[in-house]
Structure 1
Amino acid sequence: MIDANENSELLRQCQAITADEPDLIANLANISALIFDGLDDINWAGFYLVRGQDELVLGPFQGKVACVRIPFGKGVCGVAAQQQQLQHVDDVHQFSGHIACDAASNSEVVAPIVINNKVVAVLDIDSPSVGRFSVKDADVIAEIAQHCTQLDWSQLG
């Protein structure tokens, strides 16, 4: 796990790399890379983007090949999107309806990105270690997702 200062630095870096870049996909790709490189003991970091009324579709990410489509309410990502609430799961195998996109993943944090009371995406971070994410880790992931609300989501139209 990382300490609070490293968490703050990760958020500052996300803010810095997106500050002067208007392209949404470029920003999401760089944020994924920054998280993947900046957090220890993770095996996937990326975004699922909302398509239609109730489906998430794979967006920019770092890690192994992933599930392409996830319905709202299915798996940790789908539940985060449907409930518009952070999901902090210490052991995904104990999560009802878990979708095993990567059998090596054992813990997960998913933060919804909500604009005007509507989910536009989720930020998903996976680890091969059970209980990998502290409350502080989950908080910074939520803060990064909150920062993402300031990006130009109209480009997905």
Structure 2
Amino acid sequence: MPSPGCSTCKPPARRSPAASFCCRGCGPERVAASRSSTDWREARVSPDLDDDLVDAIRSVVAGEPDFVANCANAAALLFERLPQVNWAGFYILRGEVLVLGPFQGRVACVRISLGQGVCGTAAARRETIVVPDVHQFPGHIACDAASRSEIVVPLLRGDRLLGVLDIDSPVTARFSDADRLLCEQVARLVVDASSD
């Protein structure tokens, strides 16, 4: 049963039963309905979970103008909700270098030059890159030896590059076209909500 809401969202915002947060001020209510304590990482994302994830991210970024705060909450939700993921986070552009931002997962590379690795290449090209097998990507930067596939989405405000969303999986060919569309939608939500 959903909580009555926090001071930000009383009455509580409309949400699906699987949503974890009603707004940026509420804490976790429940884990996504599709997860059990042992098998959630093995499941594929269903369209309903995609919608729930987008709704949850939309809720936590709504009304919050801080870019880093929005990246942090989005990274947490992506890592919590997406199955077969071992890293989810953001790199923020500082000059000509991507600098590690909010993330969930193992310790990561701190700085990536534009054009270097999957993140730097996606940033330089300003386009989403889906890599089914990271060992086949020339110049791949291995922050976590367990990673086998990766998706990187540039964060763009008009023509201005803000950074990238990066998600890794220990499963080869983990990311589908549906995942690409989902991650691009998440990137747009984070950028559009943020004013800095």
Query: TM above 0.5, one fold?
Result: yes
Distance in 2, Cα, partners of 1:137 & 1:67: 24
Question: What letter is aligned with 1:59?
Answer: G
Distance in 1, Cα, partners of 2:149 & 2:141: 12
Decide whether the 8 Å contact of 2:148 with 2:171 is kept in 1.
yes
User: Residue in 1 aligned with 2:92?
Assistant: 49
User: Residue in 2 aligned with 1:103?
Assistant: 145
| CA shift for structure 1 position 27 | 1.5
More strand by share: 1
Distance in 1, Cα, partners of 2:134 & 2:146: 11
Mark the runs of 5 or more structure 2 residues left unpaired by the alignment: 1-43
The ranges of structure 1 where at least 4 consecutive aligned residues each deviate by more than 3 angstroms after the TM superposition are none
Secondary structure of residue in 2 paired with 1:119: strand
| CA shift for structure 1 position 148 | 1.7
User: Residue in 1 aligned with 2:17?
Assistant: none
Task: Count residues with an aligned counterpart.
Answer: 153
Question: Residues 9-28 of structure 1 correspond to what in structure 2 (within 5 A)?
Answer: 9-28=52-71
Secondary structure of residue in 2 paired with 1:82: helix
Distance in 1, Cα, partners of 2:190 & 2:61: 9
Mark the runs of 5 or more structure 1 residues left unpaired by the alignment: none
User: Residue in 1 aligned with 2:83?
Assistant: 40
CA RMSD of aligned residues (A): 1.1
- Which of 125, 129, 151 pairs up with 2:167? 125
Secondary structure of residue in 2 paired with 1:97: coil
Where relative contact order (Cα < 8 A, 6+ residues apart) is larger, the structure is: 1
Larger Rg, first or second structure (1 or 2):
2
| CA shift for structure 1 position 22 | 2.6
- Which of 70, 77, 82 pairs up with 2:112? 70
- Which of 127, 132, 135 pairs up with 1:93? 135
| CA shift for structure 1 position 4 | 1.8
| CA shift for structure 1 position 153 | 4.6
Measured against aligned partners, the alpha-carbon deviations of 1:93-126 in whole angstroms (never above 9, x if no partner) come to 1011100011111100100011120210100000
